[in-house]
Chain A
Amino acid sequence: MVSVFRKEVAGFLNSLIAYIVISVFLTGIGLLMWVFPQTNILDYGFADMGTLFGLAPYVFMFLIPAICMRLFAEERKSGTMELLFTRPLTDMQVILGKYFAGLFLVLFSLLPTLIYYYSVSELGNPKGNLDSAGIMGSYVGLLLLGAFFTALGVLSSAVTENQIVAFILAAFLCFICYDGIQAIASLEAVGSAGYFIERLGVIYHYNALSRGLMDSRDVLYFASITIAVLLLTKLVIGSRKW
């Protein structure tokens, strides 16, 4: 697993992907938080980071599929799948190696935003007057969300040899899980079942964590859907043996 992880991270760093992903993410979020008139904190006048945590999922929705689309699709296309799966590695080791490499990049793009935390806290009046617990929770939520989106990205990449298909599929799945389920829950037609459907969606648990209350149910929710998607990926990769 470590060898695959190292190879993939080196692959990200040797190509432009890592730099583009991180700089696009930071530029986009930075502009939204500090410059754009509708969303910037300075005009808003409250010392919180709601902008980051409200918009980051939508940026992730495009960036994570872009990070993950090549992970398996490229191997499939160039035939190196066979090379990789005839080495002394289990399928799961390969999948996890690639998954954590993707997650590593997501984590790295998120780290510099800690500077925003410091800036906002300095700008507060009085200084440091900031809902730190809420921000902590939001970071955990965002990280778990990133972990889930990465799993969806890896799954999409595993089902096809075309990177564009993998990208679109992953973005679509992320969107459905994040916004789609919420939207279904609020339909008139589903009635009182909406209450339960809403709890199936990612956004409900993400918001719950954002409030700064680290509920084990929410963490467990993210852990289980992520693991489920990774197991599904294993099934897809193992399907060559059928």
Chain B
Amino acid sequence: MSISVKNLTKIYGRQKALDNVSFSVEQGEIVGFLGPNGAGKSTTMKIATCYLPPSSGTLEVCGINVEEDPLQVRHQVGYLPEHNPLYLDMYVHEYLGFIGHVHKLRGKELREQVKRVVEMFGLTKEQNKLIGALSKGYRQRVGLAQALIHDPKVLILDEPTTGLDPNQITEIRNLIKEVSQQKTVLFSTHIMQEVQALCQRVVIIDSGKIVADQNVDRLKDASGVAGEHQTIRVLFENRVNKEDIGKIPGVIEVHPKTDGSFLLLSAGDQDIRSNIFHYAVENDWVLVELTRESHSLEEVFKELTGKGGSGG
């Protein structure tokens, strides 16, 4: 297990930033850490990188407790902080050399590692420029490059794509995807598509509490969290009464929509699409549309982290 969080609580003054948070990230997994701003994502990451100590509970990285051996933990972790702070008056290779030196890389090994990350992130042309002269996309690459200079086992990225344009976002995502093949990655974001594009698993946090910890596919599926039913949207060419539709086996609720279509709810995992088809054929209804509506991640996110926090 690469990252293991148990009953983690962090209190800033009177404010509870994290409240009894537990989750874990297995080796080789790429996990999205999702939540609205101020939910506690950054706090968790700061604790995992030993920048802040937890108020109570434990956090282990590669089996090492962050409070017992912070230096060892920091050696295992590559960290890209929020807003990607950089020394703007340093040259790219100078900066990467400095970070490598801090990680106890020396001489030939250091030069090789710098060369490796420079090539990996396409910084060859930019390596002799001042970081301050780079565009935001390239700065982000430098930020990722420094996080990987010591070939860490675990990568912690705090909102790696914030403030980039759509092309750069795609580039950075691809880079993350590429490096994640051999590493454990925990990255935070508040963009849903990012999670869909990158992760197998998602942990959603709201107001310091974990509200979901699931595979992305399952979360998308309405049955996963949003209630014990499925939603089917149907549209018939001819007029059909709501009551008649209600007679289809398996349907428990019918909601007519303004555009003439109907939303049918069925219980549990039961797939009633074939029932609908057969019933329509029997009654000579012309079926022009039949779709299973899976809640989009965005909806799930809103539902889970919305005000009141009932959590579906």
A residues whose Cβ falls under 8 Å from a Cβ of B: 2-4, 6-7, 10-11, 14-15, 78-83, 85-90, 240-241
Contacts and interface: CB of A to CB of B under 8 A. Distances in A.
Contacts of A2: 101
B83 interface: yes
Contacts of A85: 51
B175 interface: no
Contacts of B51: 82, 85-86, 240
Nearest to B130: A14
A15 B79 CA distance: 28
A240 B50 CA distance: 11
Residue among A7, A10, A11, A78 with the highest chain B CB neighbour number at 10 A? A7
Interface of B: 46, 49-53, 71-72, 74-75, 77, 79, 81, 83, 85-90, 94, 98-99, 101-104, 146
Contacts of A89: 71, 102
Contacts of A10: 94
Contact of B89 (A11, A86, A90, A240): A11
A85 to B, nearest CB: 6
A80 B90 CA distance: 13
B85 A79 contact: yes
Given A7-B98, A15-B89, A240-B52, A83 B103 contact: no
A116 to B, nearest CB: 34
B81 A87 contact: no
A240 B10 CA distance: 13
A15 to B, nearest CB: 7
Given A82-B51, A241-B53, A87 B102 contact: yes
A78 B103 contact: no
Residue among A6, A82, A87, A241 with the highest chain B CB neighbour number at 10 A? A87
Nearest to B100: A3
Given A3-B102, A10-B94, A240-B52, A86 B85 contact: no
A111 to B, nearest CB: 26
Nearest to A4: B102
Nearest to A1: B102
Nearest to B72: A88
A6 B50 CA distance: 24
A16 to B, nearest CB: 11
Contact of A3 (B74, B85, B101): B101
A88 B102 CA distance: 7
Given A3-B102, A88-B71, A240-B52, A80 B85 contact: yes
Contacts of A78: 85-88
Given A82-B46, A82-B51, A240-B52, A87 B99 contact: yes
B86 to A, nearest CB: 7
Contacts of B52: 240-241
A82 B102 contact: no
A6 B53 CA distance: 29
A80 B82 CA distance: 11
B89 A14 contact: yes
Task: Across the A-B interface, give the 4 residue pairs with the lowest CB-CB distance, nearest first.
Answer: A79-B85, A3-B101, A86-B49, A88-B74
A14 B88 CA distance: 12
25 contacts: A3-B102, A4-B102, A6-B98, A6-B101, A11-B89, A78-B86, A78-B88, A79-B81, A79-B83, A80-B86, A80-B87, A82-B46, A83-B81, A83-B85, A83-B86, A85-B51, A86-B46, A86-B49, A86-B50, A86-B79, A88-B72, A88-B74, A88-B104, A240-B51, A241-B52
A229 to B, nearest CB: 24
A10 B83 CA distance: 25
Given A3-B98, A3-B102, A82-B51, A90 B88 contact: no
Contacts of A15: 89
Contacts of A241: 52-53
Contacts of A14: 89
A79 B79 CA distance: 14
Contacts of B102: 3-4, 87-89
